[in-house]
Structure 1
Amino acid sequence: MTTPGKAAAGPVEMPPRFEFSGPLLPDLVRLHARWYPDKPAVADEQATLTWAELDRRSNAVANGLRALGVRNGDSVAILLENCVEYVEMLYGAWKAGAVVVPLNLAVNESGLLMMLQDATARVLFCSPVQQQRLASRMTEAASLLPDGVIVHDGAAGAYVRWRDRQDKGPPAVTIGDDEPCNIIYSSGTTALPKGIKHVHRRRIQSIYELAMAHRYHYGAVAICPIGLYSNTAWGTLMCALIVGATCLIRRKFDPEAWIEDVERYQVTHAMMVPIMFQRILDAPNFRPAAVRSVQAVLSGGSPLFEGLKRRVMENFSCAVIELYGLTEGFMTTLQPEEAEGRLASVGKPVRGNDYILLDDNDQQVAWGGTGEICVRSVHWMIEYHNRPDATRESMFIDSSGLQWLRTGDIGRTDEDGYLYIIDRKKDMILSGGQNIYPADIEALMVEHPLVAEVGVIGVPDATWGETPVAIVVPRAGSAAADLAATLLEWTNQRVGKRQRLREVRIVDTLPRNPNGKILKRELRRTYVAAGDVVARATGPRENQ
């Protein structure tokens, strides 16, 4: 009933408000093309693309994919060696609203097919070399790819002809902040590695934080010799692209060529894994003057041991930054201003991140203690694709209902809150009821002047359950037969009784994943495969 003299109340009008959505990664190419059209964006050994060229080419890829039937949320896979075309495919797929699936070139044919099937990829971009690898399974592959395989086989090849037929104007596609951006498959030990899924909003937030931590700016020139299927390579590429800088892409890592490129092109920024730093410093053409243009280097992927970090700091007159993270996301950085007295630390969380340490009973460890690192973040992955079981297993929910991601890494904190990585939880050796961390032994052994690389694993032992064994790559010119015995004695004199090695084996190379981490599961196979061993030395192990 209406009160006399008063109008009936109508719907309440809400005051206007802005609902801005910031630019996402595919938008940045368009924006930089508007602001810096003639500035080089990416270059490989054969070609350079300006921002305007990259924008037009990625538009063409996007429009071509939409014409094939690719829609928002569909997967597009890339199996290709490093080149500028990889970048236009990457950003073109994003502009089309697709989920990018970068495939590791080191994965075998069966593994690639499993990934294509798991991701339900509609299109595969590949090179002739990779197409040939899949040739025996192409019928099976084609059945998994409803919109086909597009082969990049040179300047007049199928991919270029297809791309150049497309409209080069911006595609009429809207991408939501929380739409999936990528699925990157881990280098796990299961038959099908986990597919790590990020959404656009979290991915660009992560890159903004990484670019700030790595001190990127508009005038930067970055170099990326790591395969673009790797999250480490994406860190370099996208940090450069997010600020409108230039990224030099190289087909492979060669330390001598890297040094020449840095000097010739006045490279300012590089993100690498520790073994790359070591090989650069050991290269015959290395001299500090050649890398004088470098303003900041960032190390990630595996621990940068103190001795190597000192060498990098002494020879690169620039900011040396260490990063800790996973493919799921990055967590901490140690900036040079904080490094004094903390060279072994990986620093503190970047903005938007937090961590706790849990003991074996899932109880939070007090500050200064040791436990599994668990992370909360606004820019980490959202899930493992098609693996709710793995997502659930990696999740810890605390008493307040907050979700944390279990990293599988063991860490400790100091009294100032700086994080130190001890080892992977799964690589820990249980010997005589005591925990032995291989990284502790590795950190000691790489200090030996004749050791280039080392990986320590646990092997079965009738007395202790497990016992540590070191597998070593010697520096050039070392006498392998003598070195094994020398290292066994040298190490066992310096470690605790419980850490003493049963054996040292000398090999030519250590297996590593694209991020430079030593593959301990492969080392265990190497231990069994005596044919891979150059020399060995064994001794009694009285560790109790």
Structure 2
Amino acid sequence: MTARDGAAHFRFWPKGVARDLVVPRATLPEYLDTAARRYPDKPAIIHGDAVMTYASLKQSVDAVAGHLQQRLGVASGDRVLLASQNSPQFVVAFQAILRAGAVVVPVNPMSKSGEIRHYAQDSGARVAFVAEELLANVPAGLFESGIVIGAGTGPTFDEAVAAGLAPPAEVPRSEDLAVLPYTSGTTGHPKGCMHTHATMVAALASSQVWKGLNAESVVLAVAPLFHMLGLQNGMNMPIVLGGTAVMMARWDAATAARLIEQHRVTVWTAPPAMVLDLFSHPDTQQRDLSSLALLSGGGAAMPEAVSAMLLERYGLSYNEAYGLSETAAFLHANPLARGKRQCLGMPTQGVDSRIVDPITLKELPQGEVGELVTHGPQVMSGYWNNPEADRESFLEIDGKRFFRTGDLAQVDDEGYFFLRDRLKRMINASGYKVWPAEVESAMYDHPAIHEACVVAMPDGKRGETVKAVVVLKPGYRGEVDEQQVIAWARERMAVYKAPRVVQFVDSLPKSGTGKILWRELQEAERHAAAGKVNP
């Protein structure tokens, strides 16, 4: 199914939304400049008891951009690492890096030292913004210079703002590289997705029109800002709109309910696990959430029972969408007035998605399951310094460059896409992608582990959970328990990557050549989960 004229989904296309997208020739800092001129005294960010207006936000961004250029020697095209929890300082740092003409490398604040080393060395980042509480995870000497977000020793964020240096005279261009988020792919090493201002803005412009957002939108920003879901919807979108972001550093259902009521939040984009937490929390029943007009998200399918409860109790439909780090988040979405549940939606403005045979790469008829490939203005230009990955991930159809998502899907007779499986061996835990080979490689460092195979365990709340099937060395059997292995793993890798379940077995299934048959273990896990659901 394609996004060409006559495609089935155009019969149900949202009224008032153009089929194609004219991407604004604008950069992300330009949107901040515009919002600061139009709404200087309007709250841009509300964080706890602190309010940062658009005028204050722009002033801080300009000063930090000046510091990056004049004090740290950051030049156009340089990569700058950013590791922090959600905060106004994250927003300032992100915008300042871009205003200096540099490229943001957003890093999960849960990352351990080995992971940070990979991001820094692969991207070539020599400067970093790091939150004070995360400094212990940064290997000594990894960066030439940096700025501490907090009251740590060395150059701090507040000092950079207070210095009030002028921003660079040169401004970035639409086609310049802007963001380099890292994602798992066909190997165990995360790869950098090259996004220009144009690809980032394309996703934002499309999403704004599709969802009917405007300057009066008040957004709850709690999804992590290092991740494309939070970065685009919780941070960049409010600035594009001139709206307000009500920001939370970390998830807490009771606090979220209070903030929605207090600040009359209208828009919330979040993975289903957060939505489930909020609406099942006792405090939520005592709060006035009538201001909420739009709930949307992706990363995992929303359970049918939760969707029904939201509609019956609150009159809200969870608008499911589909996107990837490689597509700057927004790619497919369900029409607001005619959504389907557990559905990837349809290709949005200017997007051409098709289903192909993953072996022959030939387009398949409607209804058949195959790999979802896509072409659109928000698709990244490629993987950073990785031509081999580009060759594996892109193909040409009808003279256009399509990205291979690695997701197996099918299209119904109305042009809606449905996820069926994953072609790549990938685990999706609450929207965070986990590459099993990376986790397995780390687990082999445990002195008691002889062999390990990591699989996805279906999880009604998180979508999928990381499970490790482990063979212990003979001398350790009966001496090491599940919780010890889990605790060990959490000390050495980001929490979302670390196994939440460990199963000990005497041996792992192998092929005649000695390869571990991970598919066999994965299928066994899925069958076991199905048996629990349908005894």
TM-score under structure 1 normalisation?
Answer: 0.73
Q: Kindly report which structure 2 residues correspond to 1:194-213, keeping only aligned pairs within 5 A, or say none.
A: 194-213=191-210
SS at match of 2:337: helix
Give the structure 1 partner of residue 331 of structure 2.
Answer: 331
Give the structure 1 partner of residue 6 of structure 2.
Answer: none
Tell me which amino acid in the other structure corresponds to 1:256.
A
Q: Deviations over 1:110-137 (max 9, x none)?
A: 1101111111113111122111222xx2
- How far 1:473 sits from its partner (Å)? 7.5
Distance 1:518 1:312 in 2: 27
- How far 1:170 sits from its partner (Å)? 4.7
Asked whether the 8 Å contact 2:320–2:334 carries over to 1, the reply is: yes
Structure 1 residues 267 and 162: alpha-carbon distance in aligned structure 2, compared to 1, 3 A threshold: same
Picking from 212, 217, 221, the partner of 1:215 is 212
- How far 1:288 sits from its partner (Å)? 8.2
- How far 1:356 sits from its partner (Å)? 0.8
- How far 1:294 sits from its partner (Å)? 0.5
Let me know the Cα RMSD of the aligned residues.
3.5
Picking from 224, 228, 231, the partner of 2:225 is 228
Give the structure 2 partner of residue 396 of structure 1.
Answer: 395
Give the structure 2 partner of residue 178 of structure 1.
Answer: 175
Picking from 526, 531, 539, the partner of 2:502 is 526
Give the structure 2 partner of residue 59 of structure 1.
Answer: 62
Deviates more, 1:50-59 or 1:213-222: 213-222
Structure 1 residues 469 and 128: alpha-carbon distance in aligned structure 2, compared to 1, 3 A threshold: closer
Instruction: Give structure 1 regions of 4+ aligned residues with deviation exceeding 3 angstroms.
Output: 154-157, 187-191, 468-475, 527-530, 536-539
Asked whether the 8 Å contact 2:63–2:160 carries over to 1, the reply is: no
Asked whether the 8 Å contact 2:409–2:419 carries over to 1, the reply is: yes
Tell me which amino acid in the other structure corresponds to 1:306.
E
Q: What is the number of residues matched between the two proteins? A: 435
Greater RCO (CA < 8 Å, at least 6 residues apart): 2
Structure 1 residues 177 and 470: alpha-carbon distance in aligned structure 2, compared to 1, 3 A threshold: closer
Q: Deviations over 1:189-222 (max 9, x none)?
A: 8443011110111111111111222322111111
Asked whether the 8 Å contact 2:310–2:316 carries over to 1, the reply is: no
Tell me which amino acid in the other structure corresponds to 2:51.
T
- How far 1:183 sits from its partner (Å)? 0.3
SS at match of 1:526: strand
Distance 1:130 1:26 in 2: 27
Distance 1:316 1:474 in 2: 20
Distance 2:253 2:219 in 1: 15
Q: Kindly report which structure 2 residues correspond to 1:29-48, keeping only aligned pairs within 5 A, or say none.
A: 29-48=32-51
Asked whether the 8 Å contact 1:70–1:122 carries over to 2, the reply is: no
Q: Kindly report which structure 2 residues correspond to 1:268-347, keeping only aligned pairs within 5 A, or say none.
A: 268-287=266-285, 290-329=288-327, 330-339=330-339, 342-347=340-345
Structure 1 residues 122 and 376: alpha-carbon distance in aligned structure 2, compared to 1, 3 A threshold: same
Structure 1 residues 278 and 73: alpha-carbon distance in aligned structure 2, compared to 1, 3 A threshold: same
Distance 1:256 1:290 in 2: 13
- How far 1:176 sits from its partner (Å)? 1.9
Residue ranges of structure 2 left out of the alignment (5+ in a row): 1-22, 437-452, 463-481, 507-524
Asked whether the 8 Å contact 2:320–2:342 carries over to 1, the reply is: no
Give the structure 1 partner of residue 84 of structure 2.
Answer: 80
Asked whether the 8 Å contact 2:320–2:344 carries over to 1, the reply is: yes
Distance 1:408 1:423 in 2: 9
Distance 1:370 1:324 in 2: 17
Give the structure 2 partner of residue 364 of structure 1.
Answer: 363
Residue ranges of structure 1 left out of the alignment (5+ in a row): 1-19, 429-437, 443-454, 458-465, 476-504, 531-535
- How far 1:331 sits from its partner (Å)? 1.8
SS at match of 2:341: coil
SS at match of 1:219: coil
Asked whether the 8 Å contact 1:295–1:319 carries over to 2, the reply is: no
Tell me which amino acid in the other structure corresponds to 2:399.
G
Distance 1:69 1:472 in 2: 47
Structure 1 residues 49 and 200: alpha-carbon distance in aligned structure 2, compared to 1, 3 A threshold: same
Identity of aligned residues (%): 25
Distance 2:505 2:299 in 1: 27
- How far 1:105 sits from its partner (Å)? 1.4
TM-score under structure 2 normalisation?
Answer: 0.74
Distance 2:281 2:406 in 1: 34
Structure 1 residues 191 and 472: alpha-carbon distance in aligned structure 2, compared to 1, 3 A threshold: closer
Distance 1:313 1:394 in 2: 39
Deviates more, 1:205-214 or 1:100-109: 205-214
Q: Deviations over 1:352-403 (max 9, x none)?
A: 11111112322211122211100001111111111111111011223x3322
Structure 1 residues 351 and 46: alpha-carbon distance in aligned structure 2, compared to 1, 3 A threshold: same
Tell me which amino acid in the other structure corresponds to 1:257.
T
Asked whether the 8 Å contact 1:374–1:406 carries over to 2, the reply is: yes
Q: Deviations over 1:30-66 (max 9, x none)?
A: 1111111000001212422100001110000111111
Picking from 214, 236, 253, the partner of 1:238 is 236
Distance 1:218 1:420 in 2: 33
- Whichever of the two has the greater Rg, that structure is 1
Q: Kindly report which structure 2 residues correspond to 1:143-162, keeping only aligned pairs within 5 A, or say none.
A: 145-146=143-144, 148-154=145-151, 158-162=156-160
Distance 1:419 1:271 in 2: 20
Asked whether the 8 Å contact 2:220–2:265 carries over to 1, the reply is: yes
Tell me which amino acid in the other structure corresponds to 1:337.
A
